[in-house]
Chains A and B, each alone.
Chain A
Amino acid sequence: MLPGEQQKYLRIGVISALMAVSVFVAGRLVNSATSEAVLVPAKAQERPVLPYEAGVFTRMERPVDFTNAPLGKNVKRSLASYYARRAFDGAPPSIPHKILDPTSWGGDACNSCHRDGGYVEQFQAWAPVTPHPEFANCRQCHVPVEKKTLFRETTFTGLKPAAIPKGQLPNSPPPIPHALDLRTNCVACHGGAAAVPELRSTHPERVNCRQCHAATNMSATRPVIAVFERSAPGGTN
């Protein structure tokens, strides 16, 4: 505890500051409320666009086996290798294994393992599940690594993955830190045997993830033209 005297002064200080501020702010609000709100021709304004929702409820055709998810030594994937395969947070990962049929364009060749997951004897590993099995031309976006060298050096630094956030209140569900494009099927990465342990949900069996987890990473900002808009109180109009 603070010594009584000083604690009192601190309180008085804080309270008087609060009062000063409320007078100041309230004054401003009153002022702006009395000034006339008018409709003015709008300039194009940058507005945020909400993340899109397609696929939120899509599930794998066969349910993911959550109960047999291996832990400890048996887990092949780590958060480090997960991010190392991506040029930036959200980039399509490269293909880390030999492609069984080089002429293949994707389709069943990839989806036979990556659509529903499952244990693959050949690689002695659980296959990661794609969050977008509806796209069949896999090698449109996912390419193998034939060679590790560079043609020329680069100074590119990609978007870093956001830290796994805490909830806003003790015990409240954390928001979704990453962009959702092509990754609206949450359980593909956050549940199942192949999921990276750090990314696994404690409750993958629940279906409606976004009932509790808010998407905070906006889809985009765009110039939006309204014909007229109300001048904002205290705004620059």
Chain B
Amino acid sequence: MLSRRELFKGLAMAAAAAAAEQVFPGVLFATTAVPPGANGLSWKKAPCRFCGTGCGLLIGVDNGRAVAVKGDPASTVNRGLCCVKGYHSVMALYGKDRLTHALVRRNGQMVKVPMQEALDLVASKLKETIQQSGKDSVSIYGSGQWTIPDGYVASKLFKGGIGTNNVEANARLCMSSAVTGFMTSFGLDEPMGCYDDIDHADVFVLWGNNMAEMHPVLFSRMLERRVTNSSIKIIDLATRWTRTSMAADRSILFKPQTDLAIANAICHELIRNGWTNSTFIQSHVSFHEGRTNIGYGTQDKFAFTDEPKPSTLEDFRKRLEEYTPENVEQLSGVPAKDIRYLASLYGDPAKKCVSFWCMGMNQHTRGTWIQNNVYNIHLLTGKISTPGNSPFSLTGQPSACGTVREVGTLTNRLPHGETTNEQDRQMAAEIWGVPVANIPVKPTYHTVEMFRALDRGDIKFMWIQVTNPMVTMPKLKRYRDGMKKDGRFVVVSDVYPTPTTDIADVILPSAFWIEREGIFGNSERRTQQWDQLVDPPGEAMSDTWQLIEVARRMGHGKLFPWSKETHVRDIFNEYRRFHHGPAHEMATYDALRANPGVQWPCPNGKETKWRYHAKWDPAAKGVSWDFYGKPDHKAWIWFRPYEPAAESPDKDFPFWLNTGRVVEHWHTGSLTRRIPILHQAVPNSYVELNPIDAKRIGVRNGEGVRLTSRRGTLVLPAMIDGRGRPPEGMVFVPFFDESLLINELTLDAFCPISKQPDYKKCAVKVERA
């Protein structure tokens, strides 16, 4: 029954409908009124906040809140499919313990203060520290989750304004071996190929890469490719049995660190059988050697400089002589016939080959070398820079490429090139509008050394943004104790309380992901923009704007003349100038807004899918390959030998400790653990054991296991025959759990060239707890 007023409303509605019919014959109206808030649902694009795949998402926003996610069918990356983290990513905005106000430590207690007051304090502390202890006593530590404007502003303030190279990012722990691999072999960073290679390849070799869990969307694309053609082969080459091994056509397990030797044995076989592409080698490859016995960097102030020497194919062949499949079988545990099988796949001229890798090859005390060795395979066979032929380094963070590597937020880098290069400094000085003398020449500290310098007292001020080093640093205790020392001032910008905010002197609340406008860059050179879709909570402010506010208070305001409304666009337009030219031209801001993502080089608005080949890359000269990153226009093959890990199992510590991730959680879990479905799927960390080892020490599933290394000890529940199975003599622990900190046990040894630590190999003792 209708009320009287409702009846009249019906009449009023009918009158309006009749009036509309006169103007628009045939007009139809909804029969029920739109409820407030409902149907206001709009779907707006944003790149995923988690790994470096860079999936396009569509975020459902209703009444100012993000309420749903779906995959963006227009994104060429994921074509409408996400992973469980992406689908639930917006739930990470709404944890009840979001940091919404600034906090300052006073007499040991964290006290809520107005944001402006906290920014005043940060600026005055920065100025005071510089006055008392010099420019190189202050530092900033960001991450591959920094948006491009965040990283650009940080670099401009510290390198151009303050004048220190104390700028680093957690991508040093994640991607720097990939960078030095690209630089040593090709002279320019980032992959030559793109994800479309998946649609063309016949063979996929996964080098220490559990893609089913870590890059599930690309893994699914690969499986789809295999469905279309049963001759397509996926080979999982790993140190532990995983979901990827199960889905692969062939699983080959090797002993940790011996991937160096396996790659060399494949090259040995390629040359011995004449499976190399000699015309390609002749015109496009030059041979080199570097220093050997290069150390592990476990001592403070460790320094290393490589000394490249020219070499020849014949020298290279001779160096490989000892890497026969039989010899390498002894070392690696991989049967010689499997090594020959791999060589036959890479060596078959009719097969297109993609190699994928990520942390297995990057977090490696010879990280640069193993990248060189895998490039060697692709260069000997000429399987590179053409559709389906691609050595492909995958990325773990959404903008490790876009921000850390392209903007250059590392101690030795500038937005274009190296600090040690006069021309690169000139360019930065000109675009930034600072005297060139402001920009320091000499790189200072890479990440591990930066935390050591803080411990020693050489650095007294550190500003940490979007990262959680008190969970991720190896040999954690030393660096935590160092940060807690008197006379160290630590500022942390984050969205949730973490073990890192626990030791902070100032906590600044950050606007998260879609709460601000931003830009990321993914693994395949794709730049991805998003608009602000919802408001940040409380006084939360984007990391970019926090930096600008502090810069203005320090008197560097004229470097940052932008308004709050347009600063992201303005910053990008300034930054774009660094990459002008066919080798790295970036799309316009409008083009980025209109597309899920655009790949660089993008000269004249056209994306370059494959670099270094004249057919696709306008920067390449001639009719075929042109490796223009190197002065000789050739790709460099390096002979890099096998050298053992920094710490191997022995009598006292007889197990390898391997660490990593699970599909549900991302990095330190500060976001994913606040998403109920992800937390409930994997509520805590655990230790994976081989069933034989478990039996030997007498533990069953779920029972406590004590792991002890030379650096620390930890008790975790056992996981036997779960989603992964390490071989005998190895244990595996995910690192996402802040209450079960496995990095108390890991070792801070790193690749002397890339300075990236090895989280995959150290020695532990395993006991029943």
Contacts A87-B88, A156-B93 given; indicate if A102 touches B722 (C-beta within 8 A): yes
Please give, as numbers and ranges, the residues of chain B lying within 8 Å of A144 by CB-CB distance.
681
Stretch at the interface among A115-123, A147-155, A186-194, A204-212: A147-155
Please give, as numbers and ranges, the residues of chain A lying within 8 Å of B68 by CB-CB distance.
88-91, 158-159, 179
User: B: which residues have CB within 8 A of A?
Assistant: 11, 15, 18-19, 22-23, 28, 30-31, 38, 41-45, 58, 60, 62, 65, 67-74, 80-84, 87-88, 90-91, 93-97, 212, 216-217, 219-220, 223-224, 227, 241, 243-244, 246-247, 496, 590-591, 593-594, 663-664, 669, 673-683, 721-725
A130 and B72 alpha carbons, distance in the complex (Å): 20
A102 and B688 alpha carbons, distance in the complex (Å): 13
- Which residue on A lies nearest to B66, using beta carbons? A156
Q: Are B243 and A156 in contact (CB under 8 A)?
A: no
- Which residue on A lies nearest to B88, using beta carbons? A87
Contacts A18-B22, A141-B87, A168-B28 given; indicate if A221 touches B43 (C-beta within 8 A): yes
Q: Could you show 30 A-B contacts with beta carbons less than 8 Å apart?
A: A18-B15, A21-B19, A21-B22, A88-B67, A90-B70, A94-B681, A102-B723, A103-B722, A107-B247, A135-B224, A137-B212, A140-B219, A141-B81, A141-B87, A142-B84, A145-B681, A149-B683, A150-B676, A152-B95, A152-B96, A153-B95, A156-B93, A159-B68, A168-B30, A179-B68, A182-B71, A219-B43, A221-B42, A221-B44, A222-B594
A168 and B44 alpha carbons, distance in the complex (Å): 28
Q: Which 4 A-B pairs have the closest CB atoms?
A: A143-B681, A105-B243, A140-B216, A153-B96
- Which residue on A lies nearest to B32, using beta carbons? A166
Q: Please name 8 further chain A to chain B contacts, defined as beta carbons within 8 Å, in addition to the given A18-B15, A154-B94, sorted by A numbering.
A: A52-B73, A91-B69, A141-B83, A149-B683, A153-B97, A154-B676, A157-B94, A220-B44
Residue A164 is within 8 A (CB to CB) of chain B in the complex: no
- Which residue on A lies nearest to B219, using beta carbons? A137
- Which residue on A lies nearest to B684, using beta carbons? A147
Please give, as numbers and ranges, the residues of chain A lying within 8 Å of B590 by CB-CB distance.
44, 225
Q: Are B593 and A44 in contact (CB under 8 A)?
A: yes
Contacts A156-B90, A159-B67 given; indicate if A137 touches B223 (C-beta within 8 A): yes
A29 and B680 alpha carbons, distance in the complex (Å): 59
Contacts A137-B247, A155-B96, A168-B31 given; indicate if A143 touches B58 (C-beta within 8 A): no
Contacts A17-B15, A158-B67 given; indicate if A136 touches B673 (C-beta within 8 A): no
Q: Are A140 and B90 in contact (CB under 8 A)?
A: no
Residue A181 is within 8 A (CB to CB) of chain B in the complex: yes
Q: Are B70 and A154 in contact (CB under 8 A)?
A: no
Enumerate A155-195 residues with CB–CB distance to B below 8 Å: 155-159, 162, 166, 168, 179, 181-182
Residue A198 is within 8 A (CB to CB) of chain B in the complex: no
Most buried by B among A91, A105, A179, A217: A105
A145 and B664 alpha carbons, distance in the complex (Å): 12
Pick the contact of A105 from B246, B594, B722 — CB < 8 Å? B246
Residue A146 is within 8 A (CB to CB) of chain B in the complex: yes
Pick the contact of B45 from A87, A104, A220 — CB < 8 Å? A220
Name the distance in Å between A90's Cβ and chain B's nearest Cβ.
5
Please give, as numbers and ranges, the residues of chain B lying within 8 Å of A44 by CB-CB distance.
590, 593-594
Q: Are A148 and B220 in contact (CB under 8 A)?
A: no
Contacts A92-B87, A134-B227, A152-B96 given; indicate if A166 touches B15 (C-beta within 8 A): no
Please give, as numbers and ranges, the residues of chain B lying within 8 Å of A179 by CB-CB distance.
43, 60, 68, 70
Name the distance in Å between A141's Cβ and chain B's nearest Cβ.
5
Q: Are A159 and B84 in contact (CB under 8 A)?
A: no
A90 and B682 alpha carbons, distance in the complex (Å): 22
Residue A12 is within 8 A (CB to CB) of chain B in the complex: no
A179 and B80 alpha carbons, distance in the complex (Å): 12
Please give, as numbers and ranges, the residues of chain B lying within 8 Å of A218 by CB-CB distance.
43
Residue A26 is within 8 A (CB to CB) of chain B in the complex: yes
Pick the contact of A154 from B96, B220, B594 — CB < 8 Å? B96
Contacts A49-B74, A107-B247 given; indicate if A159 touches B681 (C-beta within 8 A): no
A26 and B276 alpha carbons, distance in the complex (Å): 78
Residue A224 is within 8 A (CB to CB) of chain B in the complex: yes
Please give, as numbers and ranges, the residues of chain A lying within 8 Å of B681 by CB-CB distance.
94, 143-146
Contacts A103-B725, A134-B227 given; indicate if A182 touches B680 (C-beta within 8 A): no
Name the distance in Å between A186's Cβ and chain B's nearest Cβ.
17
Q: Are B22 and A22 in contact (CB under 8 A)?
A: yes
Q: Are B41 and A143 in contact (CB under 8 A)?
A: no
A96 and B227 alpha carbons, distance in the complex (Å): 28
A26 and B593 alpha carbons, distance in the complex (Å): 38
Residue A139 is within 8 A (CB to CB) of chain B in the complex: yes
Q: Are B721 and A155 in contact (CB under 8 A)?
A: no
Please give, as numbers and ranges, the residues of chain B lying within 8 Å of A156 by CB-CB distance.
90-91, 93-94
Contacts A87-B91, A134-B227, A141-B87 given; indicate if A222 touches B96 (C-beta within 8 A): no
Please give, as numbers and ranges, the residues of chain B lying within 8 Å of A149 by CB-CB distance.
680, 683
Q: Are A147 and B683 in contact (CB under 8 A)?
A: yes
A10 and B44 alpha carbons, distance in the complex (Å): 47
Name the distance in Å between A189's Cβ and chain B's nearest Cβ.
16
Please give, as numbers and ranges, the residues of chain B lying within 8 Å of A150 by CB-CB distance.
676, 679-680
A145 and B243 alpha carbons, distance in the complex (Å): 19
Q: Are B95 and A103 in contact (CB under 8 A)?
A: no
- Which residue on B lies nearest to A53, using beta carbons? B73
Contacts A144-B681, A219-B43, A223-B593 given; indicate if A135 touches B220 (C-beta within 8 A): yes
Please give, as numbers and ranges, the residues of chain A lying within 8 Å of B217 by CB-CB distance.
140
